[in-house]
């Protein structure tokens, strides 16, 4: 019986996604310099050889995690910016979605590790920073829409987008397991910092 190439590709992608999904928190907690392929294999409940079957190194896993995470987020904010909603609705959705995703604290750590760690290559730093900067553009469009609607505070939309995203990321870090700050975080309160005050 001939092999089903499409099914094989789907299975391969599923295994790659599983390894990446389980690597996120392991890499964030242990740090890229300290984590080993063995650690990543244990987290995924697969053999070291199985990890090497799909990836050449932990650095390749790290780079792919960042690429997929930032690309997926970029697609999400681009679609949200184009949605038929008011700017506050879009920004509330962005904030609430980011804060409710369980492992975004780990993604935040990995993004900043890639940009600041001496173990990151210049190429990786540049790619991560470029994607981060590109992903601000749809958020800036939401801010600009809100300014045109009269709902969002005045100022440079790109700068305000940077503040908005940075605030959300910082709050996400406070939700790392075992280090949670016991303060409730409400998307409406975060959003309120960027909205025009009613007089």
* φ/ψ bin of 155: left (φ > 0), alpha (ψ from -120 to 50), beta (otherwise): left
Please tell me the predicted confidence (pLDDT) of residue 2: 53
To 5 degrees, how large is the angle CA 184–CA 186–CA 189? 120
Amino acid 12: pLDDT: 86
Low-confidence stretches of the chain (pLDDT beneath 70): 1-3, 198-199
Alpha helices in the chain (DSSP H): 5-30, 37-44, 48-54, 58-82, 87-100, 104-116, 122-149, 157-173, 187-192
Q: Are the C-beta atoms of residues 145 and 94 closer than 8 Å to each other?
A: no
Cα–Cα distance measured from residue 144 to residue 151, given in angstroms and rounded to the nearest whole number: 10
Candidates 77, 92, 87; CA nearest to 153 is 87
Torsions phi, psi for 150 (to 5 deg): 85, 20
Would you state the pLDDT for residue 199? 39
Alpha-carbon distances, residue 161 vs 115, 136, 146, 168 (angstroms) = 19, 6, 12, 11
Contacts (Cβ under 8 Å, ≥6 apart) of 12: 54
Question: Which pLDDT value is given to residue 48?
Answer: 94
For residue 184, the model assigns a pLDDT of: 87
Domains of the chain: 5-192 (1.10.357.10)
pLDDT of the residue at 198: 62
């Amino acid at each position: 019986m001939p092999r089903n190439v499409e099914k094989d590709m789907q299975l391969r992608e599923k295994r790659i996604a599983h390894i990446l999904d389980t690597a996120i928190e392991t890499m964030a907690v242990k740090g890229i310099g300290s984590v080993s392929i063995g650690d990543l294999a244990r987290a995924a409940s697969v053999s070291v050889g199985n990890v090497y079957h799909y990836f050449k190194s932990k650095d390749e896993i790290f780079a792919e995690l960042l690429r997929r995470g930032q690309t997926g987020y970029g697609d999400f904010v681009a679609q949200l910016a184009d949605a038929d909603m008011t700017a506050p609705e879009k920004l509330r959705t962005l904030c609430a979605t980011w804060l409710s995703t369980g492992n975004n604290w780990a993604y935040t750590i990995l993004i900043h590790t890639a940009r600041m760690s001496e173990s990151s290559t210049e190429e990786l730093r540049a790619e991560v920073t470029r994607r981060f900067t590109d992903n601000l553009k749809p958020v800036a469009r939401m801010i600009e829409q809100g300014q045109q609607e009269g709902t969002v505070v005045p100022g440079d939309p790109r700068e305000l987008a940077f503040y908005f995203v940075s605030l959300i990321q910082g709050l996400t870090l406070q939700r790392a397991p075992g280090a949670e700050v016991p303060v409730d975080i409400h998307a409406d309160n975060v959003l309120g910092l960027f909205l025009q005050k009613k007089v």
